[in-house]
Structure 1
Amino acid sequence: MIAWFTVVQIAVACAAGLLCTVLGLAGRRPSDLSVGTQALVLLLLIVQVVIAIIAPLAGNPPTGDLLEFWVYLVSAVLIPPAAVAWALIERGRWSTVVMGVAAFAIAIMIWRMNVIWTVQVA
């Protein structure tokens, strides 16, 4: 993993989580803004998938369990589409909050992926 990209991903996911949670608690239903934040988080996760494929070939192998890392990454990629699908099916204020919670969960998962990649010794 690339350190600066990890920080960017975490910052964007936290900002998306905060925005969606505040919008939802303020009574706003899902909109282009809230769904767009999830799209941005998903785009960054897809870039992370590409980085995770290329990094070991470029001399940046993980120090932790590779299977655990990929399970986290694949799970994180599945969360934004699931949250958006929920929001589009159940168009209430709480579905916007669910998208916020999903973004916060992704931020935590990205941090854990970084720990698996850089800190642990296999």
Structure 2
Amino acid sequence: MIEWFTYAQIGVAVLAALLCIVLGLAGRSPSDLTVGATALVELLLIAQLVVAIVAPLAGNEPTGSLLEFYIYLISAILLPAAATFWALVERSRWSTVILGVACIAIAIMLYRMQQIWSVQLS
């Protein structure tokens, strides 16, 4: 993983989470803004998948469990899609909050993926 890219992703996910949670608690239903912020998080996760595939070929080997890393990554990729589906099916203020909760969960998962990739030195 590229460390700066991971932290940039975490920052975007936290900002998207705060936006969605604040707007949801203010009573707003899902909009282009909240769904778009979640879509940006999804797009960055797909870019992270590409980076995770290319990085070992470029000499950036993981020091932790590669299987555990990819399970986190695939799960994180599925979260925004599921939250967006929920938000489009049930258009209430709580759907917007769910988008925010998914984004904050992704931020936490990205931090853990960074630990798995680089912190577990032997």
TM interval, short-chain normalised: over 0.9
Q: Per-residue deviation at 1:120?
A: 1.1
Q: What's the counterpart of residue 102 of structure 1?
A: 102
Q: Per-residue deviation at 1:121?
A: 3.6
2:64 is paired with a residue whose SS is coil
| RMSD over aligned Cα atoms | 0.7
Q: What's the counterpart of residue 36 of structure 1?
A: 36
Q: Which amino acid aligns with 2:58?
A: A
TM-score, structure 1 normalization: 0.99
Q: Per-residue deviation at 1:29?
A: 0.2
TM-score, structure 2 normalization: 0.99
Q: What's the counterpart of residue 87 of structure 2?
A: 87
| Identical residues among aligned pairs (%) | 67
Do residues 15 (structure 1) and 15 (structure 2) align? yes
Q: Which amino acid aligns with 2:98?
A: V
Q: How many residues are treated as equivalent by the alignment?
A: 122
Q: How does 1:55-74 map to 2 (within 5 A)?
A: 55-74=55-74
Runs of 4+ that moved beyond 2 A:
none
Q: Which amino acid aligns with 1:37?
A: A
* Equivalent-residue separation in structure 2 for 1:88 and 1:6 (angstroms): 28
* Equivalent-residue separation in structure 2 for 1:14 and 1:4 (angstroms): 15
Q: Per-residue deviation at 1:87?
A: 0.3
1:43 is paired with a residue whose SS is helix
2:41 is paired with a residue whose SS is helix
* Equivalent-residue separation in structure 1 for 2:119 and 2:22 (angstroms): 34
